[in-house]
Amino acid sequence: MAELAWLLGGVTGEGVDSTGEVFARAAARAGLEVHTFRLFPPIIKGGPTSYEVRMGDRPLHARADRLDCLVALDAETVTRHGPALRPGGFLVVDDPRVKAPGPPWAVRCPVPLTQLATDLGDPIMKNMVALGASASLLGLDPTALEGAVRRRFAEKGSQVQERNVAAVTAGWRYAEAHLASERARLAGVRSDVRPSPAPRYFLSGNDAIALGALAAGCRVYASYPITPASDVLEWMADQLPGVGGVALQTEDEIAALCVVLGAGYAGVRAMTATSGPGLSLMTETLGLAGMAELPAVIVAAQRPGPSAGMPTKHEQGDLLHMVFGGHGEFPRIVLAPGSLEECFADTALAFNLAERYQCPVIVAVDQDLVLKKRTVSGLPVDEVAVDRGARLTDEETAAMGRAYRRYALTPSGISPRAVPGQPGTWHLTTGDAHDDRGVIDVEDPAVRRAMVDKRLRKTADLGGIVQGIRAEGDGDVLVVSLGSACGPVREAMERLAHSGLRARFLQIRCLWPFPRDAVGPEVARARRVVVVEHNATGQLAALILSQVGGHGKVEGIRKYDGLPFSPGEVEAALRPLLAAPLPLGQASRGAHADL
């Protein structure tokens, strides 16, 4: 695949993020597919930060293994990211402030970034000078770059816009004048990357989730700020008033989910988004949703735990919490989108499931999936449908009156809902054990059994509404993954296939109810099952073993250092497993490779 990777590194507070985004937009405007990856600390000013832009001529779903151009605003960036430069890659440094030589295989390109920016009136524009210089080195379309810069400063007035365009131009001209021979080195690579004229959008997983919620008719959003889910709160606060709805920042995550349950109970689609610490607080309320049969949509973007863990980093360590967390037994649905498009579709679908099955629905995502921005040709907007489940009309409730049974025992377990305000059918909705009328009954064993069975029956069969898996490729090794890890895994498998090492790929799209019927035969057929996931204990592997078996042939590739897999890492770990697949029953039991 023809591709280029660019990385800007410095410290937080000097505009690395916004500058990186301008570069990404410039590449997208030039017709390239773009994938971004940010590394940032929980330090608002002065901590090491970076913004990677990977560009190519087909959709990208993972961070880069090697860099073509590294722009270092400080020496630490050279130390941290210099080793990732490919031989002949450019190391652009702020001359003379950054003296670090960088790796010997890189081409050092000193540019007086701060000096050129100061000459133009403000040293803060050194980022823009860096953009111009590095874009010139990589041969990025200057018109696209200028357009992205103008867009970035559109709200700041034409004077600011012109100054920044001048800074970009100064960087570009400096590279043309002083680095022409270096620039020529990459010509071969550049000519492989063919821009596409197709229209595309550039957005994050959080953006896609928020859009999915809006498409599905979410009108109440309640949450507490938490990395990496806060973007959704800010998005909703901006957009929900436009459709008459409300985004409420609550005092904690307990209140957030309670507001969602209250709104859902009263017949309004509501959602919250959080991360592990918030999900822990919500777990108590999750039980109320289960017992009282209330709809709720909870987006849970995982980050490394336990406790505060690594707030700005990546992990998939809350899978079993989402599936099993909480006291007592109750139905729940846990969807696991693996791409931006799936984030949109699954969030929209979650609202239908929550109302149809009258239970909490968790959209399990992870830091990498929700924070990285990517180009997409579109979102599956036309596929969004609204299904509000079994709801009674006012005429029906008036006719039923006191005969209404909120928790009527039905074959499906689903009891038609009446919401407050509907005539005749006032009733109790309770977290205590209750009978089919909603009357508290904490004594009768037969009622208890009937009501537990009724609740669990609801999600016993999701009737094909939820796509449990996505499978592709052939081979006697089954590689299983989920969430954002699917991107690097599939890219690694493509590379391995080029060298004749083929395997079958299985994405788990729904963690609960576990898609046993779909996964079971896949595991049974495979000689070897390799589960690739971002945690230390193999939670997805444990779920597979407990739900469909596969003892003796399930292995794992696990990474839990806070960083998402790169395709090269997965490729290196998978290669020996594909190269020498063991006969059935001979796999090293429970073995896993940690990255």
Partner 1 sequence: MLTYKDFAAQKPTWCPGCGDFAVLRALQESCARLGLAPDRVVLVSGIGCSGKITSYFASYGVHVHHGRTLPVATGIALANRSLTVIAAGGDGDGYGIGLNHLIHAIRRNVDITYVVMDNGVYGNTKGQTSPTTSRGTATPSSPRGAVEDPVRPLRLAMAAGITFLAQGISSDVPQLTRLITAGIQHRGFALVNVLSPCPTYDRVRTYAWWRTRLSNLDEDRAYNPSSREQAWETVMTRDDEVVGLVYRTEGDPLDARLPGFREAPLSSEVLAPDREAVRRILRERYVP
**Of the candidates 70, 179, 214, 543, which one interacts with partner 1 according to CB under 8 A?**
214
The two tokens of residue 285 are 């309320």
Residue with smaller CB distance to partner 1, 248 or 540: 248
- According to the binding rule CB under 8 A, does residue 488 interact with partner 1? no
- According to the binding rule CB under 8 A, does residue 457 interact with partner 1? no
302 burial via Cβ count (<10 Å: 0-12, 13-18, 19+): buried
Can you list the alpha helix ranges (DSSP code H) found in 139-275?
142-152, 158-178, 180-185, 187-192, 205-216, 230-239, 253-265
- According to the binding rule CB under 8 A, does residue 270 interact with partner 1? yes
* Contact assessment for residue 70 and residue 96, using Cβ atoms and an 8 Å cutoff: no
- Please choose, out of 72-80, 131-139, 287-295, 301-309, the segment that lies near partner 1 by the rule CB under 8 A: 287-295
Q: How far is the CB of 443 from partner 1 (least distance, A)?
A: 12
- According to the binding rule CB under 8 A, does residue 280 interact with partner 1? no
* Contact assessment for residue 185 and residue 233, using Cβ atoms and an 8 Å cutoff: no
What track of x and - describes contact with partner 1 for positions 119 through 158 (by CB under 8 A)?
A: -----------------------------x----------
- According to the binding rule CB under 8 A, does residue 287 interact with partner 1? yes
Which CA distances in Å does 194 have to 26, 30, 53, 58, 547? 15, 10, 17, 9, 45
Quickly tell me which residue has 């090794």 as its tokens.
477
Q: How far is the CB of 231 from partner 1 (least distance, A)?
A: 12
Q: How far is the CB of 386 from partner 1 (least distance, A)?
A: 5
- According to the binding rule CB under 8 A, does residue 20 interact with partner 1? no
Residue with smaller CB distance to partner 1, 83 or 262: 262
**Of the candidates 49, 134, 285, 347, which one interacts with partner 1 according to CB under 8 A?**
285
What track of x and - describes contact with partner 1 for positions 322 through 351 (by CB under 8 A)?
A: --------------------------x---
Q: How far is the CB of 529 from partner 1 (least distance, A)?
A: 38
Site for partner 1 in 369-428 (CB under 8 A): 375, 378-379, 381-382, 384-386, 388, 419-428
- According to the binding rule CB under 8 A, does residue 244 interact with partner 1? yes
- Please choose, out of 91-99, 264-272, 568-576, 581-589, the segment that lies near partner 1 by the rule CB under 8 A: 264-272
- Please choose, out of 108-116, 186-194, 219-227, 407-415, the segment that lies near partner 1 by the rule CB under 8 A: 219-227
Residue with smaller CB distance to partner 1, 30 or 117: 30
Instruction: Count the site residues for partner 1 by CB under 8 A.
Output: 79
- According to the binding rule CB under 8 A, does residue 201 interact with partner 1? yes
d(CA 291, CA 287): 6
**Of the candidates 16, 116, 129, 255, which one interacts with partner 1 according to CB under 8 A?**
255
- According to the binding rule CB under 8 A, does residue 268 interact with partner 1? yes
DSSP 8-state assignment for residue 252: S
- According to the binding rule CB under 8 A, does residue 279 interact with partner 1? no
Residue with smaller CB distance to partner 1, 267 or 473: 267
The two tokens of residue 558 are 């696990």
Strand partners, 7: 52, 70
What track of x and - describes contact with partner 1 for positions 495 through 534 (by CB under 8 A)?
A: ----------------------------------------
Site for partner 1 in 22-81 (CB under 8 A): 24-25, 28-29, 34
- According to the binding rule CB under 8 A, does residue 465 interact with partner 1? no
**Where do the DSSP E strands lie in 57-142?**
67-72, 85-94, 107-111
Q: How far is the CB of 541 from partner 1 (least distance, A)?
A: 33
Can you list the alpha helix ranges (DSSP code H) found in 217-274?
230-239, 253-265
Determine phi and psi for 584, rounding to 5 degrees: -50, 135
**Of the candidates 84, 113, 120, 222, which one interacts with partner 1 according to CB under 8 A?**
222
CA 366 to the chain's CA centroid: 5
SS3 409: coil
Cross-sheet strand order for the sheet of 504-508: 469-472, 504-508, 477-481, 528-533, 554-558, 592-594
Determine phi and psi for 528, rounding to 5 degrees: -145, 135
**Of the candidates 116, 130, 211, 489, which one interacts with partner 1 according to CB under 8 A?**
211
**Of the candidates 215, 365, 493, 543, which one interacts with partner 1 according to CB under 8 A?**
215
d(CA 593, CA 298): 32
- According to the binding rule CB under 8 A, does residue 233 interact with partner 1? no
- According to the binding rule CB under 8 A, does residue 429 interact with partner 1? yes
Site for partner 1 in 291-320 (CB under 8 A): 292
- According to the binding rule CB under 8 A, does residue 198 interact with partner 1? no
d(CA 148, CA 40): 23
d(CA 224, CA 186): 47
- According to the binding rule CB under 8 A, does residue 203 interact with partner 1? yes
Largest CA distance in the chain: 87
Concatenated DSSP letters of 21-41: HHHHHHHHHTT-EEEEEEE--
DSSP 8-state assignment for residue 412: T
The two tokens of residue 517 are 């019927």
